Structures are given as C-alpha cells and as structure tokens.
C-alpha cells in the first residue's frame, strides 16, 4: 500500500525538494500531497496526482464560513488547547514565529519590514492575531483530515502555518520529518524529527564516541587545523551572502515588475480563496529606504585591525539577522536582541568593552534610533557587519551568543563561549550554557578570570568527535543520495518519538 506523504515547502531550497519528491514518488510509490500557495500548483505537476491533494493556503485575514458556527469555533478552540497541553508550546509562539505578519507587534521597533495584509490587521487590532491563528489551525486540521497522511515532510517548521501543522500533526500522532542543512559541514543535509529541528542523531552518535573513546578521524583533525589557520563560513551561508552582494539594480527593478504583474493577474482572475501576492509599492519604498539608511548609518560602526584587538579586553556578541528562526522559533527568550545587549552592558566588568557586530542582512533595515540606543549603553561599540568576523572571534576574551554559529567558531578557536539557548554544537560541552539571566554575570566574571579548564588534547578530541558524528549523520545535498534519505526517514519514523526543545535551566558547564 502506497504511503501518503504531505509536504510543507521550503522556498529557499525549492529545486532540491522538487527533485527529491519526484524521486521519492517513483522509487517508493508515495502518494504526495502539498500545502502551498495558489500560484505554485504547476511546480508540482508529476508530483501531486490531483487537485484534491493540493491544499492552497487561504487568506487568513478573511473570515471563513465555519466561524459563524458556534460549535465549530468551540471545537477549534479546544483543538488549540489540546495541542498546547500535549506539546508544551503555547500558541503565542506561533505568533512570534510570524513576526513578519500576524506577530508584527513583536518586531515593530527592531527593523523595517514591508507591510502586508495580515500585519496591517494585526497592528490595528491586537485581538486579530488570535483569529488568524484559529483559521490556521482549522485549515491544518481540515487538510490533515482530508488527506490522511502517514508522514509529513518539511524543509522547515518555523513558518507560522508549518508550525501549526506540526502541532496539529503531533496531536494526531502523525510523524513529521524535517530536512535541514548542516551548519558544520558544507553541502550536507540531515533529517530530524526534533521539534526544534536540531540533528539529534549527531547528539546520539557523539555520546557513543565519547563513551567508547573512539579515535578521531584524520579528516576531522585536518578540519580543526585548517579552520584555525584559514577559517571559512559554511557554504550555504556564504552563498547567501554572495547572491545578496551580486544582486543588480536592474534585476531588482525587474522583480518588482514581475510582482506587479502577478498581483494584477490575481485580482483579474478573482482568486479570492488564495493569499494575494505581496504589495509592490512598500517593497519599492523599502528598497530605497534601505540604501538611504545604509549610507546614513555607516558612521555608527567601527572596524578594528587584528593588532588593535589585542590592545584591549572585550566581550564579543554578534547579532542575528532579523527575522530569524534561531531566535523567534528556537530561542524565543532571546528574541529581543536590544534587551540582550542592554543586559550584557549592565554586567560588564571594569575595563571590558562589549563589541556588538551587526548582521550584514540587517544593514539599512533598522531605524537609526535602534543603533543610537545601543551606543548609549555603557561600554558598547558597534562593529561593521561587513568587517571580517573571524578576527573578532579569534581575539575575544569572551564570546556571548544566544545560539549563533559564532559560538561554534569560537569553540574551534579555543575561546571561552557562553550560550543562552540550545545550540547545534551542544554535544562537546565546551562552552558554558547559561539559562538563568541572574547567573550570567557570575559566569562572565568566572570565564574572564579562568577561561581554560580542559586539557588541550581532550578539548580537540571532543571537537573531533563532534565533527565525525555530524559527518556520519549527514548526507551530501544532492538527489543522488535519495535512497539513503529514504532509509533514514524510515528509521526515524519507526522510532516513533518526538524530541522536545530542550528546556535546561540555570548554568550547565560541561567537562
């Protein structure tokens, strides 16, 4: 009997997933359904057998017919409550994950983002997000009932609608497996059932290696030496930076034209059941505002040469791009990065600077007042987002990050690191994991005075075990390894367990 599989798309890796689904359908005889916008139907020709298996995302700003039925409204309210109790995740987390639209109130002061219909409604009435959320739960529940999947596949569950699908699926006992890119080894992917989308197989494999004191591979030893000599950003992040830097003015304007045509087509055809294409004018205005703010705010950032960084002591804290699933989905308590910098400023020891490096994708998108506020905090200096980051990591007296990859890079360099949330590089236990804010000050003082506690050979061995474990639990990001992916998916599903987001409290210093 064919397995029924529902797919939740990931636009940034669209081509990869389309090819993968075609191979899965042919090799495993999958009956595939898709949840996607109205105008993406043609992308799934040959993958989705009929329109009944294509679930078009509706306009969640519009009132639905079921809302006039008291019994149905009560049922959806009960459904949301059941999902919350079962998963331990409040529905407000979905709103935060949707800070671009239904949760716009959470991000309004932090960065500019083009308005959309949901955001406008949410800003006008703070009771509207709850209504939109109910519509999402109704849609997810209805789609899962009608399609009846044995399995859900996703590229990410951090988008609000996908987040809702994951919660409803867990209540119904439907396994969900996500495919993610490794942040350690370039061009490699992993499959996971972890709700926070971390590679739990790496964690388990690391534990096996540590217990058996397995030898570290030569490949991993060379990785450590090479990174310390000539560090590089993992491929997919570097590729995103490259594409952004090479975007041409004419190409951007042409995309505005295409968006205007899609929007015109939507209204001419009166596709009232689907989500309308994005508004054009706000994006044009945003494009030029970004250029203006980039020019105006340039003087607020500093750059240092490596030899200058050795002349004073500093704590290094890089900011995430915003919006970013690492904070609004995986570490919601760290969502307000301005508040984090304020708190770190309040815990600075005498004679220590706090160097805050902006993310390059935030440049030109924040209000100038945001940076003025940060520069008003004692001891804070802003580092230019396009200044090379590795010199700041290599020379830092301490690195503090919520869950960013800078912490991993700091670990490889042998720098003291504090993390404030679960990270992909938790297994080696080579950083201080602080969960209680009141204990952060003590840890900062401790690590600045006594940063090295582990024997260097043991330190590198742990890094090597982690690198080996990550390599052994990931696959090359290409369609040639789809059989391996199928096997991994079957193994994960047969295990039948849902891994929760860790909720460690207080300070956890391993090793």
Q: How confident is the model at residue 495 (pLDDT cuts 50, 70, 90)?
A: confident
Whether 271 has a pLDDT exceeding 80, the answer reads no
pLDDT at position 509 is 44
pLDDT at position 492 is 94
Helix (H, G, I), strand (E, B) or coil at 116: coil
Compute CA distances 64 → 59, 61, 72, 138, 316, whole Å: 9, 9, 11, 10, 49
What value does the mean pLDDT of the chain take? 92
Whether 279 has a pLDDT exceeding 70, the answer reads yes
Placement of tokens 């970013």 in the chain: 324
pTM for the full model? 0.92
**How far apart are alpha carbons 174 and 151 in whole angstroms?**
6
Q: How confident is the model at residue 502 (pLDDT cuts 50, 70, 90)?
A: very low
Q: How confident is the model at residue 273 (pLDDT cuts 50, 70, 90)?
A: low
**Contacts with 251 (C-beta within 8 Å, 6 or more apart), sequence order:** none
Q: How confident is the model at residue 500 (pLDDT cuts 50, 70, 90)?
A: very low
Q: How confident is the model at residue 496 (pLDDT cuts 50, 70, 90)?
A: low
Q: How confident is the model at residue 226 (pLDDT cuts 50, 70, 90)?
A: very high
Asked whether 156 and 329 are in contact (CB, 8 A), the reply is: no
pLDDT at position 11 is 80
**CA quadruple 235, 236, 239, 240: dihedral sign:** negative
DSSP for 398-437? EEEESS-HHHHHHHHHT--EEESS--TT-TT--SEEE-SG
pLDDT at position 263 is 86
pLDDT digits (tens, 9 = 90+) for 14-26: 999 999 999 999 9
pLDDT digits (tens, 9 = 90+) for 452-478: 778 999 999 999 999 999 999 999 998
Whether 157 has a pLDDT exceeding 50, the answer reads yes
Whether 256 has a pLDDT exceeding 60, the answer reads yes
């Amino acid at each position: 009997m064919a397995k029924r599989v529902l797919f939740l798309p990931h636009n940034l890796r669209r081509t990869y997933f389309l090819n993968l689904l075609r191979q899965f359908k042919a090799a495993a005889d999958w009956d595939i359904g898709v949840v996607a916008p109205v105008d993406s139907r043609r992308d799934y020709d040959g993958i989705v057998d009929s329109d009944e298996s294509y679930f078009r995302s509706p306009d969640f700003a519009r009132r639905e017919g079921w809302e006039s039925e008291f019994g149905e409204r009560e049922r959806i309210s009960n459904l949301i409550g059941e999902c919350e109790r079962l998963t331990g995740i409040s529905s407000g987390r979905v709103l935060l994950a949707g800070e671009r639209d239904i949760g716009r109130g959470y991000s309004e002061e932090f960065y500019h983002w083009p308005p959309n219909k949901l955001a406008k409604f949410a800003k006008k009435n703070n009771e509207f997000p709850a209504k939109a959320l109910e519509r999402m739960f109704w849609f997810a529940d209805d789609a899962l009932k009608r399609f009846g999947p044995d399995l859900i596949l996703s590229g990410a569950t951090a988008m609000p609608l996908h987040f809702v699908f994951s919660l409803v699926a867990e209540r119904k006992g439907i396994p969900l497996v996500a495919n993610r890119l490794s942040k350690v080894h370039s061009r490699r992917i992993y499959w996971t059932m972890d709700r926070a989308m971390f590679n739990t197989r790496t964690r388990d494999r690391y534990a096996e290696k540590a217990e058996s004191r397995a030898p570290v591979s030569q490949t991993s030893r060379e990785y450590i030496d090479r990174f310390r000599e000539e560090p590089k950003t993992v491929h997919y992040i570097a590729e995103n930076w490259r594409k952004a830097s090479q975007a041409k003015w004419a190409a951007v304007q042409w995309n505005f034209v295409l968006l205007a045509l899609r929007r015109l087509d939507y209204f001419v055809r009166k596709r009232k059941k689907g989500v309308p294409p994005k508004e054009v004018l706000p994006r044009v205005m945003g494009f030029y505002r970004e250029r203006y703010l980039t020019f105006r705010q340039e003087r607020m950032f500093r750059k240092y040469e490596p030899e200058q960084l050795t002349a004073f002591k500093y704590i290094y804290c890089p900011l995430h791009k915003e919006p970013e699933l690492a904070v609004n989905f995986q570490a919601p308590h760290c969502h307000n990065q301005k508040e984090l910098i304020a708190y770190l400023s309040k815990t600075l020891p005498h004679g220590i600077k706090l160097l805050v490096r902006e993310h390059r994708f935030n440049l030109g998108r924040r209000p100038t007042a945001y940076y003025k506020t940060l520069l008003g905090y004692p001891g804070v200096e802003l580092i230019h987002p396009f200044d090379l980051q590795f010199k700041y990591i290599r020379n830092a007296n301490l690195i503090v990050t919520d869950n960013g990859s800078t912490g991993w890079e700091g670990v490889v360099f042998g720098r003291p690191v504090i993390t404030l949330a679960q990270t992909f590089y938790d297994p080696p236990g080579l950083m201080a994991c602080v969960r209680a804010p009141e204990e952060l000050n003590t840890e900062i003082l401790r690590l600045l005075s006594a940063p090295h506690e582990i024997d260097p050979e043991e330190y590198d061995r742990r890094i090597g075990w982690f690198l080996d474990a990550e390599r052994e639990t990931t696959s090359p990001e290409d369609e040639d390894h789809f059989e391996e992916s199928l096997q991994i998916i079957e193994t994960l599903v047969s295990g039948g367990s849902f891994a929760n987001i860790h909720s460690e409290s207080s300070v956890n210093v391993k090793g």
